[in-house]
Amino acid sequence: MNELNAIAAIAERDLFKFLRDRARLIGAFVFPFLLMFLMGGTLQLNLGKAAGFNFIGFTFTGVLGMTIFQSASQGIASLLEDRQNDFAQEIFVSPISRYSIVIGKIIGESMVALAQAAPLILFAIVLRVPLTALDILLLVPVAVLGCLVGGSFGLLGMSVINDQRAANQIFGFILLPQFFLAGVFNPINVLPWYLEILSLISPLRYVVDLFRGVVYMGRPEYHKVVLLDPEINLMVMALMFAVFIVTGTALFVRRETNR
Partner 1 sequence: MWSADAPAVEVDDLVKRYRKAKVNAVDGISLRVEAGEFFALLGPNGAGKTTTISILTTTLAPTSGRIRICGYELAKEPSEVRRRVGIIFQNPSLDRNLSGEENVRLHAILYGLYPYRPAFRLMPDEYRTQVRELAAVLGMETDIQQPVKKLSGGMQRKLEIIRGLMHRPSVLFLDEPTRGLDVASRRSLWAYLREVRERYRVTIVLTTHYLEEAEQADRLCILNHGRIVAMGSPGEVRLSPAEEFLELDATDRAQLRLELKKLNLNFEEDGAFTVRLDGRSAHEVIRSLDVPLTRLRTRQPSLEDAYLKILADE
Interface with partner 1 by CB under 8 A: which residues?
Answer: 1-2, 4-6, 8-10, 12-13, 16-17, 20-21, 82, 85-87, 89-96, 256-259
Which residue in 152, 170, 157, 163 sits closest to 102, CA to CA?
Answer: 152
The residue type at 86:
D
How many whole angstroms separate alpha carbon 162 and alpha carbon 247? 17
Residue 227 near residue 189 (C-beta atoms within 8 A)? yes
The nearest distance, CB 35 to partner 1, in angstroms, is 27
| Shorter beta-carbon distance to partner 1: residue 16 or 31 | 16
> Smallest distance, Å, CB 244 to partner 1?
25
Cβ-contact 63, 36 below 8 angstroms:
yes
Taking the complex as a whole, how short is the minimal distance between the CB of residue 167 and partner 1, in angstroms? 18
Which residue, 5 or 46, has its beta carbon nearer to partner 1?
5
* 14 vs 209 by CB, closer to partner 1: 14
Distance CA 175, CA 212 (A): 20
Among residues 54, 21, 56, the alpha carbon closest in space to that of 35 is found at: 56
19 C-beta neighbours (distance < 10 Å), count: 13
Rounded least distance, CB 107 to partner 1, Å: 12
> Smallest distance, Å, CB 114 to partner 1?
16
Nearer to partner 1, 81 or 221 (CB): 81
By CB atoms closer than 10 A (0-12, 13-18, 19+), residue 253 is middle
- Closer residue to partner 1, CB minimum distance, 4 or 118: 4
Angle at which helices 55-76 and 133-159 cross, to 10°: 40
The single-letter DSSP state of residue 97 is -
| Choice between 42 and 85, CB closer to partner 1 | 85
Contact 214, 230 (CB under 8 A): yes
How many other CB atoms sit within 10 Å of the CB of residue 51? 17
Question: Least distance to partner 1 from the beta carbon of 73, Å?
Answer: 20
